[in-house]
Chains A and B, each alone.
Chain A
Amino acid sequence: MAGSALKRLMAEYKQLTLNPPEGIVAGPVDEENFFEWEALITGPEETCFEGGVFAAKLTFPSDYPLSPPKMKFTCDIFHPNIYSDGRVCISILHAPGDDPMGYESSAERWSPVQSVEKILLSVVSMLAEPNDESAANVDAAKTWRDNRARFNEIAHQTVRKSLGL
């Protein structure tokens, strides 16, 4: 299984190198271990995360693409769908069957036809539109819902921090 996982990851790496989505760079941290990737995601424009570049780590299972990778932001980010330790909670990262929140339809779930690119794009749209119904960070979800100005301020700080400013 690891053989096909590697081939697939190689193919996706190539695709992301030659034709990456805007504002996204992704690839293995070190090619000695192809199952550990690093990704940079630019915060979508006209949102509170605009302009920030956020680093995340993707960890692939040996039976990828049968099972989804895990994704974790390595920088501070205050967002309803990101745990305080950086883990990302979106439906595309869950295989059908394991549903921690209990309401995702299996159509939005992980399947081998998904890809790293689709995950990263989903994360971008998650940054743009937080889903406060399935909150991973309750505090962030509350702030997002009740005190948008505060949330935007925190987000703006995160953006500056991510740029090293």
Chain B
Amino acid sequence: MTSTSIGELFHNERFPSGPALVLLMLYLPVGVILAVLRLFIGLHTFFVACILPKPSLFRHVVLRTMCGILGVIITREGVSNVHRRAKVLVANYTSTLDHLAIDLIMPNVLPSVWDLPPTLMWMLGYKDMEAKRGRDRLIQNAKKHIQYSPLPLLSFPEGASTNGRVGLLKFSVWPFSMDCPVQPVVVKVKRPRFANISPSILGGRWWIDIFWFLFVPFTHFHIRVLPPMSQDEDETVEEFAQRVQQTMAKALNIEATAHTSSDKVEYAKQILFIQPQTAAGQSSQYSPDSPPGGSSSSDLMIRQVQEVLPHVPQDAIRKDLALTKDIDLTITNILEGRVQFSPVAPSVNEPVTVSPAKTTVKSTERLSSPIQVASKTFQRSSQQRHLSLQDRKKLLIDAARQRYLEKHCGNI
């Protein structure tokens, strides 16, 4: 279906190169002042957006104007395609503010995937549909929402942002399992040539994305509403999702790829984690490095901890990560027994512990005192650790030698 490599789907660099970069440097002072001014205006806009009721015309006009001042220009196309019964909006995901831009054209609700406090969630237009508690729960809650709320549900089935230039990621199927028609919406983001900063980059953080939104003179969102689509009778949900993906890709004049959002996470790890490490040398590798991946960073952190400690359940990791916000600290906490959990998948674990267990039993039964060379501390610097390791090795050999000589005295 696709020949596009995953790397082409994302921007790695925030800034353009060549002559465009020179123009950007000239624009820099203006941009910084603009960003600061807009930050304050933006806060006001944010509160206005919270206070005014969602589907009102007044809110729409006020917000469009204020967004214009903030440099978010929105144009729309195909509004006649908006269908009252299509309660699920399906959009491609290119930047942090896509949700806001679509919201201004078609007020909607976005199921939240983060653990935000309820007030903040309400202010941002998110709705907690318990996505964290599993897909079934999300679908159940979303269906309920569709039935009772006048506002449509917005979804980004790609699950991760792309640069919107080359291809769409493979769609997740949940928005298509609602038993109701979906309204495809395609978003194109453009910035002026002299300040062509990528709206989202691989591993970028949302607040940095927002800063650049305020920095550039304007960002143009072109939102095109496509006619609603519904699932055919002889079509599976997967096929339906794929058909919508292809329709949207065609509308954007890009490719519908088979890469998934987890492929993106893997790719981001490759690019952001391995390459800088090999380049920067190994000494800096153990510093608490927060992972790449922007919005899904907490999931990514959990995954990384799980790769190291696969027997620890996700919930326990998430809880501790929420406190430490640091992979290494959490790993240390778990290893040192400060995190309570019941291990998962013990079935894989058990058979192997049988044979080593025998040895440990044997060694505790021994009459002579065991040679255990434990270090009291785990040194911070690699040199000290190395010295400590050398010392312990020598200690072990010396002790073994001495014991041997004691035992076999007569033989020597």
Contacts and interface: CB of A to CB of B under 8 A. Distances in A.
Interface of A: 1-4, 6-8, 10-11, 13-15, 17-23, 25, 27-28, 30-34, 38, 40, 42, 44-46, 51-53, 65-66, 92, 105, 107-108, 111-114, 118, 121-122, 124-125, 128, 159-160, 163-165
Nearest to A2: B274
Given A11-B308, A40-B393, A114 B352 contact: yes
21 contacts: A2-B273, A6-B285, A7-B327, A11-B309, A17-B388, A17-B389, A20-B372, A21-B372, A23-B396, A30-B386, A31-B282, A40-B397, A42-B396, A53-B401, A66-B307, A107-B351, A111-B310, A112-B307, A113-B349, A118-B352, A121-B359
Interface string B386-398: 1011001100110
A151 B401 CA distance: 22
A1 B373 CA distance: 32
A32 B277 CA distance: 12
Contacts of B371: 22-23, 42
Nearest to B382: A31
Interface in B331-380: 331-332, 335, 345, 348-353, 355-356, 358-360, 362-363, 366, 368, 370-378
Contacts of A6: 277, 282, 285-286
Contacts of B382: 31
A45 B363 contact: yes
Given A17-B378, A65-B307, A124-B359, A22 B372 contact: yes
Nearest to B371: A23
A38 B353 CA distance: 23
B400 A53 contact: yes
A7 B304 contact: yes
Contacts of B396: 23, 25, 40, 42, 53
B103 interface: no
Interface residues of B, number: 62
A23 B348 contact: no
A38 B368 CA distance: 26
Contacts of A125: 355-356, 358-359
Given A124-B356, A124-B359, A32 B385 contact: no
Contacts of A34: 282, 285
B311 interface: yes
B269 interface: yes
A4 B370 CA distance: 34
Contacts, number: 169
A1 B275 CA distance: 11
Contact of B356 (A8, A11, A121): A121
Contacts of A11: 308-309, 331-332, 335
B404 interface: yes
Contacts of B85: none
B285 to A, nearest CB: 5
B205 to A, nearest CB: 18
B357 to A, nearest CB: 8
Which secondary structure characterizes the binding site on chain B? Answer: helix
A17 B374 contact: yes
A25 B352 contact: no
A46 B362 contact: yes
B393 A44 contact: no
A122 B335 contact: no
Nearest to B363: A22
B403 interface: yes
B338 to A, nearest CB: 14
Given A4-B304, A112-B307, A113-B345, A159 B273 contact: no
B328 interface: yes
A14 B351 contact: no
Contacts of A38: 393
B407 interface: yes
Contacts of A42: 371, 396, 400
B302 to A, nearest CB: 12
A113 B311 contact: yes
B269 A1 contact: yes
Interface string B264-307: 00000110011001100010011001000000000000001001
A143 B346 CA distance: 38
B372 A23 contact: yes
B374 A20 contact: yes
Nearest to B328: A7
A139 B289 CA distance: 51
Contacts of B360: 21-22, 121
Nearest to A126: B355
Interface in B145-188: none
Contacts of B285: 3, 6, 34
